[in-house]
Chain A
Amino acid sequence: MQETTAGYWRKHLGVERSPDKNVFRQVKSPLRIFRPLILGTTYFIIDKLCDYRVVGLQNLKIKPPFILASNHQSNLDYAFLIRKIPPETRSNLYSIATTWLLGNAVTQFVVKAGANCIFVDTKANFMEALRVASDVLRLGKSVFIAPEGDRSYDGSIGEFKVGVGVLAVENNVPIIPAKIDGTFRVLPRGKFFPRVGKKVTVSFGEPLYPDKFLAGKKEENAYYNYKAVTDELKKRVVSL
């Protein structure tokens, strides 16, 4: 097998050192006591005010660590994604969130109370975000990523950033593709109150194993291996 440039990536991702257990420190926010309230409210919106359907839940029956990657339509996406997944899967799922979410007191409260969020300034330091996510995976937990990096304006699926491929390949973890369809109608960008009666479907696909996918076709420049996995992931999300 030809030598790739992955050595530099692995060194800078820190995958050859011991993972830093301090990455979980932020998750232990005292606001967690409000989690039942946050989840109860969002589950009420999902169950009573939306026409909600989930398909492919059997694809989540793999052991952590894995990456759960979906398209991004609304601030409510995470709640719709986790609503029906098994509690043990949910408790082992961590999100690497942008510090931009901390700029608004309401959003800060909701994300800190409602999810296992680790905040990183993803725009200023994308490699730090990848290092943190990598540590979470190497500590045996799963990571949720929205590879588009931002919400869609109209429900269409945009470009997937290659970071998800870097994480999957260098930590050799599977990616479960997920497609969210309809949350942009429930809570579009710029809106505060959800709209009722909208149809939302969440679909989970079969895990994408990067080592199997890249077997026999690795390129010398590691970036293009990460990109190939990322492109395949997007293809699978779109086709769900």
Chain B
Amino acid sequence: MADLEKEIKVLVSKIIKIPEKKIDANVNIFYDLGVDSLLGVEIFAALDKKYHIDIPENRLKDVTTLNDIIALVREIKESRAL
């Protein structure tokens, strides 16, 4: 699971163009890091491309931090494994 966290952090860092070390997992990426909501959709698009998980865009409102994104991906992957 640590690998998944690392992978998602690398992916998010690449998309929002902010170095990994500057992304605190509990910081609100929209308000504190200035990420616009369509860039949030791009994070979902990149997760879809990498993990083949189609996250409904209305889940964007539940996701504000890197930890939220990791938890969401984990939840979807686990529900798919059942």
A residues sitting closer than 8 Å to B (CB atoms) are: 3, 5-9, 11-12, 125-127, 161-163, 166, 221-223, 226
Q: Is the CB of A126 within 8 A of B42?
A: no
Which residues on A sit within 8 Å (CB–CB) of B57?
Answer: 12, 127
Q: Which residues of A contact B41 (CB under 8 A)?
A: 8-9, 12, 127, 223
Question: Chain B at the A interface: mostly helix, strand, loop or mixed?
Answer: helix
- Cα–Cα, bound, A146→B14 (Å): 29
Determine the main DSSP class of A at the interface with B.
helix
**Chain A residues near B42 (CB-CB < 8 A):** 5, 221-223
CA distance A106 to B46 in the complex (A): 44
Query: Knowing A5-B46, A8-B48 touch, does A126 contact B38 (C-beta < 8 A)?
Result: yes
Residues of A within 8 A of B46 (CB): 5, 221
The CA of A166 and the CA of B42, in the complex, are separated in Å by 11
Partner of B49, one of A3, A12, A223: A3
Q: Once bound together, how far apart are the Cα atoms of A127 and B41, in whole Å?
A: 9
B residues lining the A interface (CB < 8 Å): 14-15, 36-39, 41-42, 44-46, 48-49, 54, 57-58
Contacts of A161 in B (CB 8 A): 36, 38
A-B contact pairs, 23 of them (CB 8 A): A5-B42, A5-B45, A5-B48, A5-B49, A6-B45, A7-B48, A8-B48, A8-B49, A8-B54, A125-B58, A126-B37, A126-B38, A127-B41, A162-B36, A166-B38, A221-B14, A221-B42, A221-B45, A222-B42, A223-B15, A223-B39, A223-B45, A226-B38
Closest chain A residue to B38, Cβ basis: A162
The answer for the CA separation of A224 and B46 in the assembled complex, in Å, is 12
* Chain B residues whose C-beta falls within 8 Å of the C-beta of A11 in the assembled complex: 54
Q: Which residue of B lies closest to A223 (CB)?
A: B42
A97 CB to nearest chain B CB (Å): 19
B48/A223 in contact, CB under 8 A: no
CA distance A134 to B30 in the complex (A): 26
Question: CA separation between A104 and B16, bound complex, in Å?
Answer: 38
A221→B57 CA distance, assembly (Å):
17
Q: Which residues of B contact A221 (CB under 8 A)?
A: 14-15, 42, 45-46
Bound state CA distance, A5 and B49, in angstroms? 6
**What 7 A-B pairs have minimum CB-CB distances, sorted nearest first?**
A8-B45, A223-B42, A5-B45, A8-B48, A162-B38, A127-B57, A5-B49
Complex contacts, A126 vs chain B, CB 8 Å: 37-38
Given contacts A8-B54, A9-B41, A11-B54, 6 further A-B contacts (CB under 8 A): A7-B45, A7-B48, A126-B37, A166-B38, A221-B46, A223-B39
